[in-house]
Chain A
């Protein structure tokens, strides 16, 4: 090894603490890059392979009922290459060892295995056999959650009859990679499953001989990205059969969730590393400038000895290479483990045949390249300073730092109030502008990162609270198969333990306003309903108007409608008679796009006197009575789905929120590294530059604590100001996320309770103080007698 390289290694070891903190910041950036990019490719690869393997549909059409032959007419539309009619119904599941009725989705599959669209992948057991007609294949997650195995029997309420089904296998399907229960936010395998029945059996139990109520289809390649026009054609063709929904792949909930996640990973794999690497490069820059200043005589000597600019430049650049190497090496190893861990978390939510973490050489090489580039960029100014240093100047003692008054001193009355320590700290800050600026930027970034992360966490909690505490307040929601009369409500009121019951009428409609149209549901509520309470943006309850509609903000925006406008509403069932109704109020909601109306008014709009499609219940919490209540419920044939609020909330807490909390914990740690690293660097450099000053103060009788206080003042001002600047920036970032997630499925509220601000500031200050402890230790360990004698 050349002697200069030996010097370099020793220099690096000498400054190991500083280099380690910078490398740690860089490593975090590279770790984020590696794990996000790897997860991105892991998911993308799994998705592409699975969609190809399972022959994922390009569209879904739901309607009331149509002969199979009618569906096949869609093949006449140029661009539609394949169509596959099937039967799909919601059903309640009665498991013997489970008190509550559970929800299920029943889908028909060909009796004999053949290549189909949305083909299943068997996990356990087998496909249907000739043996029995009541065979069922259960989706694997539900089977796992409820300990169901091939050979077991399950009972489903199908078309008002309790049917015993024999489980032959468990399977996953590409259309349910992220299996959401109706209206849910997260997969809930404890309470929702998919049940694949033999086509012949489904036709028999649902009285659908030769008919279907759903079709899945595939499009020619050129239509896949722009299917809207074709889907409109498809809807027109099947309109006489009462089309309730046409869903393109891009809007299919499972696909939408995964694709959004993949896209999010793609975006964040650029943003997050950029944040860490920028901070890392800036802090490195400050360190390099200091190092070059500190070594000016050495540089001068080397030049006097005949070392050229290229050699000097390369020498200091190598220090950047060391940081880059450590950052990349550490970051890549951490990134690999993080990617493995994150991919395992994804496996909990996404049901793929295989979702593994792979090592993508391109990603890892890019990680190395990015790390090196950033480290080198961070070094370049320092190296240039070393090159520019003329040997003769380098030998001369450096000109003393500028010692003039700072602008703050012109505000005399303020300056006079300040103690000696504060004056020294402020002068230091203003004289080392670059270092101060980098410190401010680092703390600001750390705070912004933390603030936005905490706000997003709060947003998810707020969203759940808003939805399940403010808007939906019932304990149990029952959904009926069809619209029924008032008697169903009365029956529900007489179920054991029911304290209060309110009727609901959901009518799926097409809303049209000028050139804009959207499909959705109108929810009919009784006057002064207290189990579904629409709210405005501030959470204030809104009364449903006696006539006209109240619409969620998102839908109103999509329709370009405002209160006072007339909306054309065409129900997709019944007579499908279009009516023009006024939009009277706009409500706020973060899940879906609800429209509310008075139940009597809505009944009349669909030409009924009083129709009910579900009821909401308040049920006594007494366990024995609840058991009786559920026992009765399992016997009610009219019920299609049962949703218990506490299950939904519990599931969200156990899944989405728990994972989110883990990530927030990591985020706090990451932000902490930035705070800690930047404060430590600035302070230690400051200390190194002012060794003689510290020694002089010691001679004058200042204690270590008092001297530490001078340094603390400087770092605290930078740290606190940076953190405070980061708060609005973090708020703005969270706002940007909320704007970019403003979809039809869900929206992220922008919420910032005091907790968020306090935690951000406390974390910033806390990690800053932690770094200061290291500085204090350095002050205590400093040999100040030696420092006094050192020739500067």
Chain B
């Protein structure tokens, strides 16, 4: 791993177009009478097809960045663009369209609809997508073909997270945004989920962004962004990503 340069440093993916780019992004929350600045001057390009991991301790602004990247929140200052589309000036409807087609989310606590089966939880996303994948195929790919009629309460944590990944994948987005995808899982299950994400990136060519507080996970990434107190403190390239099975935490 080489010591990276801040922000727009050169990378092995520099020849690829930026799927998402942030320019001078800042976010301030008003908590009563106190203004809390959670992000400060973030400039970053996320390149097509890369596996990017963003690490940082609690309160470093990871989730806020993810929310902004996912079109769920707007920055207070700066610009965010998805391909040629400026997300900072996008209307609610445009942001919605972006969430619908551009990105897929994977959450730490899976966020499955408890009253829907695994199959139906995936269906939730394909029903509104323009060019979805076959739900059975996707469930097969995440290894849940035989568990598809189970409700979330009947699935293990790892299985639930795989359903969540299937749900994110099935609408065939360009980009997968994963918020602590292994955070709620045990070590072995976490590694399996990580393997799945790597496969999605390598085999399906999806851009994957994982945010985590777990530094060890950074080993599987093409690039790693280190966040602290709302700022990018380090951006490193990883020319030799490690297979998830070899990661230890």
Which A residues fall within an 8 A CB radius of B?
A: 2-4, 6-7, 10-11, 14, 297-298, 300-309, 311, 390-392, 395, 791
Chain B residue with Cβ nearest A11 = B115
Contact B120 A306 (CB under 8 A): no
Asked if residues B72 and A391 are in contact (CB atoms below 8 Å), the reply is: yes
In Å, the complex CA distance between A392 and B66 comes to 9
The interface residues of chain B lying within 8 Å CB-to-CB of A4 are: 124, 127
- Count of chain B residues near A, Cβ 8 A: 32
Residue of A nearest to B97 (CB): A306
Are the C-beta atoms of B124 and A305 separated by less than 8 Å?
A: yes
Q: When the two chains form the complex, which single residue of B73, B101, B113 contacts A306, counting CB atoms closer than 8 Å?
A: B101
Q: How far is the CA of A4 from the CA of B73 in the complex (A)?
A: 24
Do the beta carbons of A3 and B72 come within 8 Å of each other?
no
Across the interface, do B99 and A303 meet the contact criterion of CB distance under 8 Å? yes
Q: Does B51 contact A (CB under 8 A)?
A: no
Q: What would 29 A/B residue contacts be, using CB atoms closer than 8 Å? A: A3-B116, A3-B120, A3-B123, A3-B124, A6-B116, A7-B124, A10-B115, A14-B115, A298-B113, A298-B114, A300-B72, A301-B105, A301-B107, A301-B111, A304-B99, A305-B99, A305-B100, A305-B105, A306-B98, A306-B100, A306-B128, A307-B96, A308-B96, A309-B96, A390-B72, A391-B67, A391-B99, A395-B72, A791-B109
How many angstroms from the CA of A3 to the CA of B112 in the assembled complex?
13
Taken together as a complex, chains A and B put the C-alpha atoms of A11 and B116 apart, in Å, by 10
Nearest CB to that of B73 among chain A residues? A392
- Please tell me if the beta carbons of B115 and A307 are within 8 angstroms of each other in the complex: no
A307 to B112, CA, bound (A): 15
Which residue on A lies nearest to B105, using beta carbons? A304
Query: Which residue on chain A has the smallest CB distance to residue B120?
Result: A3
Closest Cβ neighbor of A394 among chain B residues: B72
Checking A7, A301, A307, A791 against B128 with a beta-carbon cut-off of 8 angstroms, the contacting residue is A307
Contact indicator A7/B113 (Cβ below 8 Å):
yes
Bitwise, B118-160 to A at CB < 8 A (1) or not (0) is 0010011101110000000000000000000000000000000
Determine the chain B residues whose CB is within 8 A of the CB of A392 once the complex forms: 64, 67, 72-73
Q: Looking at the assembled complex, report how far the CB atom of A447 sits from the nearest CB atom of chain B, in whole angstroms.
A: 37
Any chain A CB within 8 A of the CB of B70?
Answer: yes
A392 to B127, CA, bound (A): 22
Q: Count CB-based A-B contacts (< 8 Å).
A: 83
Beyond the given A6-B120, A308-B93, A392-B64, please list 15 additional residue pairs across the A-B interface where CB-CB is below 8 A: A3-B127, A7-B113, A7-B116, A14-B115, A298-B113, A301-B105, A301-B111, A301-B112, A305-B167, A306-B98, A306-B100, A391-B67, A391-B72, A392-B72, A395-B111
Kindly state the separation between the CA atoms of A308 and B93 in the bound complex, as whole angstroms: 7
A395 touches B123 (CB 8 A): no
Closest to A305 in B: B125
Q: Specify which chain A residues have a CB less than 8 angstroms from the CB of B100 in the assembled complex.
A: 305-308
Q: How far is the CB of B88 from chain A (nearest CB, A)?
A: 15
- A300 and B127 alpha carbons, distance in the complex (Å): 17
Measured CB to CB, the closest approach of chain A to B203, in angstroms, equals 23
In the assembled complex, which residues on chain A have CB atoms less than 8 Å from the CB atom of B72? 300, 303-304, 390-392, 395
Distance, CA A7 to CA B67, complexed state (A): 26
- In the complex, what distance in Å separates the CA atom of A308 from the CA atom of B96? 6
- In the bound complex, residues from chain A placing their C-beta under 8 Å from that of B92 are 309
Complex CA gap A301/B128 in Å reads: 14
Is there an interface contact between A297 and B73, defined as CB atoms closer than 8 Å? no
Asked whether A390 lies within 8 Å of B73 as measured between CB atoms, the reply is: yes
Could you tell me the dominant secondary structure of chain A's interface residues?
Answer: helix
Q: Say whether A297 contacts B96, CB under 8 Å.
A: no
Closest to A306 in B: B100
Per the bound structure, the CA–CA distance linking A30 and B92 in Å amounts to: 40
A688 to B: closest C-beta gap in Å = 14
Is B107 a contact of A306 with CB atoms below 8 Å? no
Bound complex: CA A147 to CA B107 (Å): 84
Q: Which residues of A contact B64 (CB under 8 A)?
A: 392
How far is the CB of B63 from the nearest CB of chain A, in Å? 8
**What residues of B have a CB within 8 angstroms of the CB of A309 in the complex?**
92, 96
| Pairs of residues from A and B, 5 with the lowest C-beta to C-beta distance, nearest first | A306-B100, A10-B115, A391-B72, A392-B73, A392-B67
How long is the Cα–Cα vector from A209 to B113 in the complex, in angstroms? 93
For the complex, give the distance between the alpha carbons of A305 and B64 in Å.
17
Task: State in angstroms the CA–CA spacing of A6 and B114 once bound together.
Answer: 12
Min C-beta distance of A292 to chain B, whole Å: 14
- By a CB distance below 8 angstroms, the chain B residues around A7 are 113, 115-116, 120, 124
Q: Considering the chains assembled together, what is the distance between the CA atoms of A395 and B64 in angstroms?
A: 11
Chain B residue at minimal CB-CB distance from A298: B113
Contact A301 B67 (CB under 8 A): no
Pick the contact of A2 from B93, B114, B127 — CB < 8 Å? Answer: B127
Closest to B164 in A: A301
A791: chain B residues within 8 A (beta carbon): 109
Most B C-beta atoms less than 10 A away, residue of A3, A4, A7, A311: A3
Q: How far is the CA of A308 from the CA of B92 in the complex (A)?
A: 9
Q: Is residue B171 within 8 Å, beta carbon to beta carbon, of the partner chain?
A: yes
Residues of B contacting A10 in the complex (Cβ-Cβ under 8 angstroms): 115-116
Shortest A6–chain B CB gap in Å is 6
Q: Which residues from chain A contact B109 at a C-beta distance below 8 Å?
A: 297, 791
Q: What B residues does A304 contact at CB under 8 A?
A: 70, 72, 99, 105
CA–CA, A3 to B122, complex, Å? 9
Does the CB pair B124–A302 fall under 8 Å?
Answer: yes
Taking the nearest CB of chain A, how far is it from the CB of B152, in angstroms? Answer: 11
Which chain A residue lies CB-closest to B96? Answer: A308
Nearest CB on B from A455, distance (A): 47
Interface flags for B69-111 (1: CB within 8 Å of A; 0: not) read 0101100000000000000000011001111110001010101
CA distance A306 to B128 in the complex (A): 8
A6 cross-chain contacts in B, Cβ below 8 A: 116, 120
From A300, A301, A306, A390, B96 is in contact (CB under 8 Å) with A306
Question: CA A290 – CA B241 in complex, angstroms?
Answer: 47
A304-B72, A392-B72 as given contacts; A298 in contact with B96, CB under 8 Å: no
Q: What CA separation (Å) do A304 and B178 show in the bound complex?
A: 12
- Give Cα A544–Cα B111 distance, bound, in whole angstroms: 86
CA distance A303 to B70 in the complex (A): 11
Q: How far is the CB of B247 from chain A (nearest CB, A)?
A: 26
Q: How far is the CA of A304 from the CA of B96 in the complex (A)?
A: 8
Expressed in whole angstroms, the Cα–Cα distance for A345 and B96 within the complex equals: 60
Q: Is A395's CB under 8 angstroms from B107's CB?
A: yes
Nearest CB on B from A572, distance (A): 80
Q: Are A297 and B111 in contact (CB under 8 A)?
A: yes
In Å, the complex CA distance between A106 and B236 comes to 114
Question: In whole angstroms, what is the CA distance A303 to B114 when docked?
Answer: 16
Cβ distance A102 to chain B, nearest Cβ, rounded Å: 71
Q: Give the CA-CA distance A551 to B124 in the complex, in Å.
A: 80
- Would you call A306 and B99 a contact (CB within 8 A)? yes
Assess whether B125 is in contact with A306, with CB atoms less than 8 Å apart: yes
Smallest beta-carbon distance A387→chain B, Å: 10
- Nearest Cβ on chain B to A319's Cβ, whole angstroms: 13
B116's nearest neighbour on chain A, judged by CB, is A7
Assembled-state Cα–Cα distance A368/B146 (Å): 44
A688 to B242, CA, bound (A): 46
Residues of B within 8 A of A11 (CB): 115
Q: How far does the alpha carbon of A304 sit from the alpha carbon of B111 in the complex, in Å?
A: 11
Please state if B111 and A300 are interface contacts (CB–CB under 8 Å): yes
A306 and B116 contact, CB distance less than 8 A: no
CB distance from A782 to the nearest CB of B (A): 16
Contacts of B93 in A (CB 8 A): 308
Query: How far does the alpha carbon of A6 sit from the alpha carbon of B111 in the complex, in Å?
Result: 17
Point out the residues of chain B lying under 8 angstroms from A2, CB to CB: 127
Q: How far is the CB of B200 from chain A (nearest CB, A)?
A: 17
- Chain B, residue nearest A12 (CB): B115
Do A305 and B120 touch (CB < 8 A)?
Answer: no
Nearest CB in chain B: distance from A360 CB, A: 40
With a cutoff of 8 Å between Cβ atoms, the chain B residues found around residue A390 in the complex are 72-73
How far, in Å, is A436 (CB) from chain B's closest CB?
Answer: 26
Residues of A within 8 A of B124 (CB): 3-4, 7, 302, 305
Q: How far is the CA of A300 from the CA of B71 in the complex (A)?
A: 12
Question: CB-CB < 8 A to B112: which residues of A?
Answer: 301
Give every chain B residue within 8 A of A307 (Cβ-Cβ): 96, 100, 128
A776 to B70, CA, bound (A): 44
Q: In chain A, what residue has the closest Cβ to B102? A: A306
